Structure 1
Amino acid sequence: MDLRALFQSYKPALVRITVQTPIGDLSTGTAFHIGDGWLVTAAHVLRGGVLQEVVSEHSSVPLSAQSVIFNKDDRIDLALMKTDLDLSHYLHMTTIHGSPKGFVQTDHIELGGHLDDWLGDELVLSKVLLMGYPPIPFSQQAVLLASEGEVNAVVDKYSGPHPHFIISCPARGGFSGGPVLSEYGFLLGVLVEALVMDGKDAETGYSSAISIEPLLVMLHDNGIYPGKNRQLIEALLDGIDNGFGKPFRLARWTRFIGASTKKFRTLVWQNKRV
């Protein structure tokens, strides 16, 4: 999947978050839309500060934050925010010209379906796209930044549960909460931290993205089934046969990636018909 097509397809779903810290500084983080006004971000983006602004990338209009849900396990750096974001006009009334091959006009980011016990090293060296709002020196305004990278490793941290993807994109503040998209067209994980030691600057660390299972469980536990992501959440967590198979992890991954690629191509075909 062309990462330019991923960027153009999913950038309308990106949202910038600005928080005032206890000492009065402004801190920027990233969130993204998964459907029905629900945003996903890293919990530390919102904790310990006062929310100042939530701005849609597509419309540049401040959004109303209606509620925030943090993961019940403080070690899991994820949060959900309900907003009044509505991209239906973009989705149904806007015609896109000159988009790259593979572009899909969508108002949300499609969640992945890879559960923790499926993960081995099958995705190591596959390409990823990270999007977010790290501060850019001398820029007159906040700009959505896209960074191409690859999966370097999948690690289990002793400081918390769930696998994390180590990606080659540079670790920069402002990327926190941003989506890490697989080249196969689905959400691989959420950028939550830079892994560093001995008090070094975050920029010298490894970019770490938490995998998708805790987000799926969080949505399920709170009865949130946003938009077109509902079917995936129910299939994975309610015991419905999802067709990915059970015998071998590699076989499951091969079928899942194939199904994801086919689904993305179907969406492209349907969009062209419209």
Structure 2
Amino acid sequence: MKNFNDMYNKYSVCIVRITVKLPNGDLSSGTGFHIGKGYIVTARHVIEDNEIEEVVGEYSNNLEVKKVVYPKDIQIDLALLETDFNLDYYINKVEIVGKDVEKIDHIEIGGHLDDWIGEEFVLTNVILMGFPPIPLSKTPILVAVKAEVNAIIDKYIGPHPHFIISSVPRGGFSGGPVISEYGFLLGILTESLGEQDKPTEIGFASAISIEPLLSLIHENNIDIGEGTLFIKELYGEPLDKLEIENKVNSEPFNELAPSSGEW
């Protein structure tokens, strides 16, 4: 999938704005996205130690946050929100006129584990979506950026590879999905890597890879729908009879990513 307007139309319904109240009373916004069964992914720093004011999307207003799950390692900037996110009305009732849009209700996670990541992703295209504040805009609005992967790094602070993305790392993009042109979640935007006391926007946009997200789902026995089967297989868990039947009838997530020779 390389038509980026099509990608925007397809995935934008899965993006939510997360507004929090900071300890000093100020309001701040970050981004989250739906991966299935009501679970919203975001960056840890967006919500940790803050009070969640609202979680809203295009077809999902005032979501109820039932539980928040964090990785055990506090250096991993990820969080999972269990919510009542649901796109049944959009899938079954909304008619999109003049556009051929593939309707989905979640963003599929890629199958690229840390040890499998090489230079295949460098200079491939991605789309980043989120809610950076735009001065003079009457309302918060979803911003989409077409970018490319410039590098893949291992930080000396914190585990897991990070993708360096060519977009400007504006505040509000935190927790937003970085989606590969090939149609799967490549990573989650978490931070701007820059020198101390320098503006955020002149740093490097950094997205953590998806292995810690897969681990978080597995360790907490979370059911995200179709993706759960792939994660169970990934971690060597046996599938029951119904899960095997469902696997036969669905496309595994790890088939979404081309092999190294196909990039």
Q: Same fold (TM over 0.5)?
A: yes
* Structure 2 CA distance for aligned equivalents of residues 95 and 236 of structure 1: 37
* Structure 2 CA distance for aligned equivalents of residues 192 and 53 of structure 1: 20
* Structure 2 CA distance for aligned equivalents of residues 47 and 214 of structure 1: 17
Report if the CA contact (8 A) 1:15-1:32 is conserved.
Answer: yes
The residue type equivalent to 2:50 in the other structure is: G
**2:164 alignment partner, SS class:** strand
Following superposition of structure 1 onto structure 2, how do residues 93-172 of structure 1 map, counting pairs within 5 Å? 93-100=93-100, 103-172=101-170
The alpha-carbon deviation at position 239 of structure 1 amounts to 6.4
* Structure 1 CA distance for aligned equivalents of residues 109 and 175 of structure 2: 14
The alpha-carbon deviation at position 99 of structure 1 amounts to 2.4
Report if the CA contact (8 A) 2:17-2:56 is conserved.
Answer: yes
* Structure 2 CA distance for aligned equivalents of residues 188 and 9 of structure 1: 16
1:215 alignment counterpart = 213
The residue type equivalent to 2:73 in the other structure is: D
* Structure 1 CA distance for aligned equivalents of residues 26 and 34 of structure 2: 26
Following superposition of structure 1 onto structure 2, how do residues 75-86 of structure 1 map, counting pairs within 5 Å? 75-86=75-86
1:268 alignment counterpart = none
Report if the CA contact (8 A) 1:16-1:57 is conserved.
Answer: no
Seq. identity, %: 51
The alpha-carbon deviation at position 255 of structure 1 amounts to 7.1
The residue type equivalent to 1:130 in the other structure is: L
1:202 alignment counterpart = 200
Change (3 A) 1:256 1:140: closer
* Structure 2 CA distance for aligned equivalents of residues 123 and 104 of structure 1: 25
Report if the CA contact (8 A) 2:71-2:216 is conserved.
Answer: yes
**2:128 alignment partner, SS class:** strand
* Structure 1 CA distance for aligned equivalents of residues 10 and 223 of structure 2: 22
**1:257 alignment partner, SS class:** coil
1:246 alignment counterpart = none
**1:114 alignment partner, SS class:** coil
Report if the CA contact (8 A) 1:225-1:233 is conserved.
Answer: no
* Structure 1 CA distance for aligned equivalents of residues 198 and 221 of structure 2: 40
Render the CA deviation track for 1:231-274: whole Å, top value 9, x for unaligned.
2212322268xxxxxxxxxxxxx976348xxxxxxxxxxxxxxx
Change (3 A) 1:57 1:238: farther
The alpha-carbon deviation at position 49 of structure 1 amounts to 1.4
**2:126 alignment partner, SS class:** strand
The residue type equivalent to 2:63 in the other structure is: L
Render the CA deviation track for 1:131-169: whole Å, top value 9, x for unaligned.
000000000000000000000000000001000000001
The alpha-carbon deviation at position 97 of structure 1 amounts to 2.7
Report if the CA contact (8 A) 2:111-2:257 is conserved.
Answer: no
The alpha-carbon deviation at position 91 of structure 1 amounts to 1.3
**1:136 alignment partner, SS class:** coil
Change (3 A) 1:255 1:54: closer
Following superposition of structure 1 onto structure 2, how do residues 224-243 of structure 1 map, counting pairs within 5 Å? 224-238=222-236
* Structure 2 CA distance for aligned equivalents of residues 98 and 72 of structure 1: 47
Report if the CA contact (8 A) 2:182-2:256 is conserved.
Answer: no
What are the ranges of 5 or more consecutive residues in structure 2 without an aligned counterpart? Answer: 239-253
**2:121 alignment partner, SS class:** coil
Following superposition of structure 1 onto structure 2, how do residues 244-259 of structure 1 map, counting pairs within 5 Å? 257-258=257-258
Pairwise CA RMSD = 1.8
TM-score, normalised with respect to structure 1: 0.85
* Structure 2 CA distance for aligned equivalents of residues 63 and 258 of structure 1: 35
The residue type equivalent to 1:168 in the other structure is: S
* Structure 1 CA distance for aligned equivalents of residues 224 and 128 of structure 2: 22
What are the ranges of 5 or more consecutive residues in structure 1 without an aligned counterpart? Answer: 241-253, 260-274
Render the CA deviation track for 1:162-220: whole Å, top value 9, x for unaligned.
00000001100000000000000000000000001132111110000000100001000
* Structure 2 CA distance for aligned equivalents of residues 7 and 230 of structure 1: 25
